[in-house]
Structure 1
Amino acid sequence: MRDAVIVEALRTPIGKRNGSLASVHAVDLSARVLNALVERTGVDPAAVDDVVWGCVTQLGDQSSNVGRFAVLAAGWPEHVPGVTVNRACGSSQQAVDSAAHAVMAGQYDMVVAGGVETMSRVPLGAARETGQPYGPAVLERYDGVEFNQGVGAELIAERWGLDRTQVDEYAAASHARAAAAIDAGVFDDHVIAVDVDGATFAVDEGLRRGTSVETLGGLKPAFKPDGVIHAGNASQISDGAAALLITTTERARELGLTPIARYHGGAVSGADPVTMLLGPIPATEKVLRRTGLSIDDIGAFEVNEAFAPVPLAWQVETGADPARVNPLGGAIAVGHPLGASGAILMTRLLARMRHHDLRYGLQTMCESGGTANATIVELLR
């Protein structure tokens, strides 16, 4: 079987809600990262077999196959296709998995995978305003329950006995870790500057330096009067885009490119759609079984910080070393642009692996509806 390798991974800085990227259309933002990928690698875009692009809320600005129109907005040849995929928060991680699978199967030789979300322009929950998202049969099966991720996070906190101090300590640590990574230049080699209205935007802007348990203590619970989840220990509403170039070792050699990492394995799993956010636990177990690796073989983990209880519960259930989990911060600190987050996590994971020469890295995302992706990559340089 052929292999699939990542030869480049780039992302925009993550913009906060109504921040630096709010004026940029999702298609145009996608085009910028596509062209940055071409500029960095020197690859002729005409040789790209497909662009597989994640986007979650496919309404309004994001309604018309963003992947295809991003190709056109980038000025790439018209024969290059594009497709938009939606596996909720894991959409661009699924894009990476699907691209790697197609390359390994011999159906594609070179694919761009990634995603975008401009949550400032297409608000979270906008789908509820235009219809019934889940359908009557699903609502009947689950006794009319509201599928609310915040409520799911509260259920996880209760089940694992996580109190307000514990989740706030995790949130404060996310900001501290992200600040340290930014200051150390860990992201410099894969974050592209974006020019917006004459200004250059180059650094994730959701970060709140000096965040502490004390500063978070003043925030009111958002989902239960006596709950532990609030805006400060949940992921931020954000804008951003990211892209990876995936091909085979042989094709990379022909193009004079040196692969960063090899796709080692991927898995997707489902879990209770009411609690919703526990999917990363069985998905991680599944990908480890599939690859024959143990949790201790993995040198770095990226577990999306949708809410603080998600990585905390995941750590307990998997036995992963907490020091290896999200050491560069995460979505609590810098944001969660839904359709882009899977690809953003991969750029962050690769940065950690390269800076510390770690052979294996694993990323996993909780997703609306109870599904989750888990992906393992192996460092090559």
Structure 2
Amino acid sequence: MKDAVIVAAVRTAVGKKNGALSSVHPADLSALVLDSLVDRTGIDPVIVDDVIWGCVSQVGEQTFDIARTAVLSAGWPESVPGTTVDRQCGSSQQAIHFAAAGLASGQYDVVVAGGVESMSRIPMGSAQATGNPFGPRYVARYGVDPPNQGLGAEAIAEDWSLSRLALDTYALESHHRAAVATDAGCFADEIVPVDVDGQVVSSDEGIRRGGSIDKLANVRSAFRDNGRITAANASQISDGSAALLMMTSGAASKAGLRPLARVHTAVVAGSAPMPMLTGPIPATHKALKKSGLTIDDIGVFEVNEAFASVALAWLSEFGVSPDKVNPRGGAIALGHPLGGSGARLMTTMVHHMRSESIRYGLQTMCEGGGQANATILELL
């Protein structure tokens, strides 16, 4: 059985809604990270067997198989194909799983996995604007109320007895960690600077400094009167893209490239469509069981901060040190460009593992419809 190794991982900075990256077409944003993989490794892109790209709102500028459009926009050979994946927020993490499976099975020798989302240009929910995705049989099973992630996050806060104060405190810590990491240059090696009309965008725009519990307490609840979930303790609407160059060890050796990490274990799990956000818990259990590792073997965790309640519920379940979870901040501070977030988290985790000599890292994300991916990487 062949293996699947990561030889390069890059991302753009994450832009705020209507921020510095909002003027960049999502296909061009994707092409920029593809270009960076070539620049950093020196590979001839003609050797790439496929580009697997996550994107959630596949409508308008993000339709027509944006993976293939990105390949051609990057000037790569027309022989390089591309396909686009939608597993909601976990789309680009699933792209990595598909890439790893293709490498391990011998279908690929060299593949790129990643994703993009320009939420400024393609607002969340745009794909549903022309029709209801829930047909009569779904409604017969689950009722007429469509799943709502915000209400799901509220339900998790209730079920795990997470107070508004706990959620806001977690959010402040996310911003603090992201600011500390930025100031220390921790993201420098992973971020591809983007030139937007002469302005170079090389830092994540969503990080807020100088916050306080008192300030966050004044933010109104977003989904329910007197609720606990607010814009301040939830992930941000964002623009961004990320990509990982993956190979078999043999192909990496042939290309003269040193692998950063290998995909040790990759799983996906289903959970209830409401509250829909609890999937990272069974996905983590499944990944640990399949890997033969224990929770104590894992040195760092990336648990996507769709909402503070998701990460805190996961922490409550597994009891790991909070210092090991999202140590460089998460989506509350850095942003959550839906289809690009899985690859963004993994890019950050790979670079953190290398800088801190951490052998095993685990990443998991909640996903619309009640699903979650979990991936364990092993440092090489």
Question: By the TM > 0.5 criterion, same fold?
Answer: yes
Indicate the residue corresponding to 1:344 in structure 2. 344
Contact conserved, 1:295 with 1:319, CA < 8 A, in 2?
no
The DSSP-based 3-state class of the residue aligned with 2:167 is helix
Q: SS of the residue aligned with 1:353?
A: helix
Contact 1:127 / 1:133 at 8 angstroms: preserved in 2?
A: no
Q: Which residue of 1 is the match for residue 188 of structure 2? A: 188
| Equivalent pair of 1:33/1:242 in contact (CA under 8 Å) | yes
Alignment of 1:67-82 (within 5 A): 67-82=67-82
Q: Which amino acid aligns with 2:84?
A: T
Q: Report how far residue 128 of structure 1 moved.
A: 2.9
Q: Does 1:202 align with 2:202?
A: yes
Partners of 1:339 and 1:211 lie apart in 2 by 28
* Structure-2 separation of matches of 1:139 and 1:2: 44
Q: Which residue of 1 aligns with 2:364?
A: 364
Q: 1:64 is matched with which residue?
A: 64
1:44-64 CA-partner distances (Å, limit 9, x unpaired) = 000000000000000111011
Alignment of 1:200-279 (within 5 A): 200-279=200-279
Deviations 1:344-367 (A, max 9, x none): 000111122112111000000000
User: Distance in 2 between the 1:82 and 1:221 partners?
Assistant: 41
| Distance (whole Å) between structure 2 residues aligned to residue 97 and residue 85 of structure 1 | 11
SS, match of residue 140 in structure 1: helix
Q: Give secondary structure in 1 for the equivalent of 2:134.
A: coil
1:375 corresponds to? 375
Q: Which residue of 2 aligns with 1:84?
A: 84
Residues in 2 aligned to 1:231 and 1:364: alpha-carbon distance in whole angstroms: 22
Deviation of 1:254 after TM superposition, in Å, equals 1.0
Query: 4+ runs of 1 displaced by more than 6 Å?
Result: none
Residue 237 of structure 1 aligns to which amino acid in structure 2?
A: I
3-state SS of paired residue (2:192): coil
Corresponding residue number in structure 2 for 1:35: 35
| Amino acid across the alignment from 1:211 | G
CA contact (8 A) 1:268 1:371 kept: yes
State yes or no: 1:314 paired with 2:314.
yes
1:110-136 Cα offsets, whole Å, 9 max, x none, are 000000000000001112321102223
What is the deviation of 1:212? 2.0
* Alpha-carbon separation, structure 1, partners of 2:71 and 2:128: 29
Q: How many residues align?
A: 380
Amino acid at match of 1:90: G
Equivalents in 1 of 2:71, 2:347: separation in Å?
A: 21
CA contact 1:269–1:372 (8 Å) conserved in 2? yes
Q: Among the aligned pairs, what percent are the same residue?
A: 60
Q: 1:138: how far off?
A: 1.1
Residue 109 of structure 1: CA displacement? 0.2
Please name the residue that 1:149 is paired with. 149
Write the distance in 2 (CA, Å) between the matches of 1:185 and 1:232.
25
The separation in 2 between residues aligned to 1:72 and 1:350, in whole angstroms, is: 27
CA deviation map 1:187-228 (0-9, x unaligned): 101101000111111100011111221111110001111210
Deviation (angstroms), 1:145 = 2.2
